[in-house]
Amino acid sequence: MENGLGEPSRWQKDSDVELSRDRGIAISEFAPGAQVVARKPVFTSEGLYIVGKSDKPDRKYYARCESCDQVRTSPTKEPLETPCPVCQEPKAHVRIAPFVEPSAFSIGVAYGHEFHSFCLIVRPLKQPESVESLMFALQKGLCQVLELDTSDIGVSRRWLNKRTAENAGIEIVLYDRTPGGAGFVEEGMNRWDEVVAAARSLCETSATHQCEAACYDCLKDFGNQQHHDALDRNAVLRFLQL
């Protein structure tokens, strides 16, 4: 494999197999337990490969609120040992754990990747029936309007209160995947009516699109596989037609 800096490892030599990845993608594809096929054999990743001090990652910490899923990071634990700044849940309900930003792919901590970019925060006035369905519909709608690939726009969500609360509230966060931001989400904000219309159209039944809940012609794609069971285009239509 190649390390995160694009330098070939001693395992690659003159192989024509290309295993380098953007670090954000590599974390999911090469993390311990993940498998990758190269020249037919299946390789299972076991951990970080550290050549020396130059590529040994620094340990950092992340805090995840068990109530609203807000995530914060810090070089040390102390700044994270406070109530959640989003839902104000007491610090006892905030899980703090170490992570590293690997230079290459064994140490027993989580893997993380930090970068700064532009974000567009969408706060629905009413709780969506299916948060996952709505957030991916808006992501795809934005990409369609701006003629982008879905890999150019990231999407996530965070709860404004306890997820189990009747008035939990949700924020859908769309962001430029380009570190530093490319301005795509800002343009999307200026064309928001078009984005919503594209999201609705994506989920509507047509002569070529008649899936029961979700398919690769509407909400599903390779990047959201972990959410496939929760996706329902009909829930999006009901929400956007209110």
CB atoms near residue 32 (< 10 Å): 14
Phi, psi of 124 (to 5 degrees): -60, 145
pLDDT of residue 5: 38
Q: Is the model's pLDDT at 16 over the cut of 60?
A: no
Q: Which residue has the higher pLDDT, 36 or 90?
A: 90
Mean residue pLDDT across the chain: 81
Q: What is the pLDDT of residues 187-200, one digit of tens each?
A: 999 999 999 999 99
Categorize the per-residue pLDDT at 242 as very low, low, confident or very high, splitting at 50, 70 and 90: low
How far is the C-alpha of 242 from the C-alpha of 238, rounded, in Å?
7
Residues 6+ apart with CB under 8 A from 238: 129
Residues 6+ apart with CB under 8 A from 185: 118, 119, 120, 142, 153, 174, 175, 176
Where do the domains of the chain lie? 53-111, 119-240
Q: What is the pLDDT of residues 213-234, one digit of tens each?
A: 999 999 999 889 889 999 999 9
165-204 burial by CB neighbour count: b if 16+ within 10 A, else e?
Answer: eeebbbbbebbbbeeebbebbebbeeeeeebbebbbebbe
Categorize the per-residue pLDDT at 88 as very low, low, confident or very high, splitting at 50, 70 and 90: confident
Residues 6+ apart with CB under 8 A from 210: none
Q: Is the model's pLDDT at 37 over the cut of 90?
A: no
Q: Is the model's pLDDT at 11 over the cut of 50?
A: no
pLDDT of residue 180: 78
Categorize the per-residue pLDDT at 56 as very low, low, confident or very high, splitting at 50, 70 and 90: confident
Q: Is the model's pLDDT at 146 over the cut of 70?
A: yes
Categorize the per-residue pLDDT at 21 as very low, low, confident or very high, splitting at 50, 70 and 90: low
Q: Of the given ranges (12-21, 178-187, 217-226), which has the lowest mean pLDDT?
A: 12-21
Q: What is the pLDDT of residues 92-118, one digit of tens each?
A: 677 889 988 876 654 456 667 777 888
Q: Is 151 helix (H, G, I), strand (E, B) or coil?
A: helix
Average pLDDT of span 149-159: 91
Q: Which residue has the higher pLDDT, 6 or 123?
A: 123
Q: Which residue has the higher pLDDT, 203 or 50?
A: 203
